[in-house]
Amino acid sequence: SQTIHQWPATLVQPVGSPLSLECTVEGTSNPNLYWYRQAAGRGLQLLFYSVGIGQISSEVPQNLSASRPQDRQFILSSKKLLLSDSGFYLCACPGDHGYTFGSGTRLTVV
Amino acid sequence: GENVEQHPSTLSVQEGDSAVIKCTYSDSASNYFPWYKQELGKRPQLIIDIRSNVGEKKDQRIAVTLNKTAKHFSLHITETQPEDSAVYFCAASKSNYQLIWGAGTKLIIKP
């Protein structure tokens, strides 16, 4: 079964600063990968998904971007963070039984 | 496209009682229905899932029922315990890929 590594676990960043969150997957090849954001007390908002290297689909217009430079690497970025970018960011990969999630990054923009 | 609605948004039950969370979906082609539990500050984790070729699945105190005609499925937790307190999410998909998520139910177990 696959394992998802996600870092950092927590991050406090000032408004206007850049962002880079990384997700790597073990135990599978050519996976579909997803980035979700969860605001405090809210549900899962799909931000981006990727079906392969260099292939990114954006679900929600925003100041975030994603890249897939390698088969098992998925990166979420921003050039200038907004206060509204605060939240819990989760990387996910489908398997035989639903999705496996990374442990998440809690981002606070101050 | 698919739309999943989940009710209630918050559910408070006495410890030992049963809890039921319901979801409806719109796309009759959906064939996979998982349930996830998310404890505070943690990642969602799969607790049970069901495919459209069965009507019910049970795992100890947890069960899921599926009504394909009515396009709804439910999570049942019996003999609730304090550790069942969490947010529960339902989801649906036509394949094992892109899940469409419900908005979540916060389950509170009162001692």
Contact A99/B at CB under 8 A? yes
CA A86 to chain centre: 13
- Residues A29-71: pLDDT tens digits? 889 999 999 988 889 999 999 999 999 999 886 789 999 999 9
Cβ of A43 and B44 within 8 Å? no
Which helix (H) or strand (E) element contains residue A26?
strand A19-26
Q: How far B17 CA sits from the closest chain A CA (Å)?
A: 25
A8: cis peptide before it, omega within 30°?
A: yes
- Residues B86-111: pLDDT tens digits? 999 999 998 656 899 999 999 999 99
Cβ of B44 and A101 within 8 Å? yes
| B97 contacts on A by Cβ (under 8 Å) | 32, 94
Which helix (H) or strand (E) element contains residue A20?
strand A19-26
Encoded tokens for B108 = 């509170």
Distances (CA, A) of A1 to A33, A49, B81, B83, B93: 15, 20, 30, 26, 20
- Residues A65-89: pLDDT tens digits? 999 999 999 999 999 999 999 999 9
Q: CA-nearest residue of chain A to B105? A: A43
What is residue B84's three-state secondary structure? Answer: helix
Smallest CA-to-CA distance from A60 within A72, A79, A76 is with A76
Q: Which residue in the set A44, A96, A102 is minimally distant from B101, CB to CB?
A: A44
Longest CA pairwise span in chain A (Å): 40
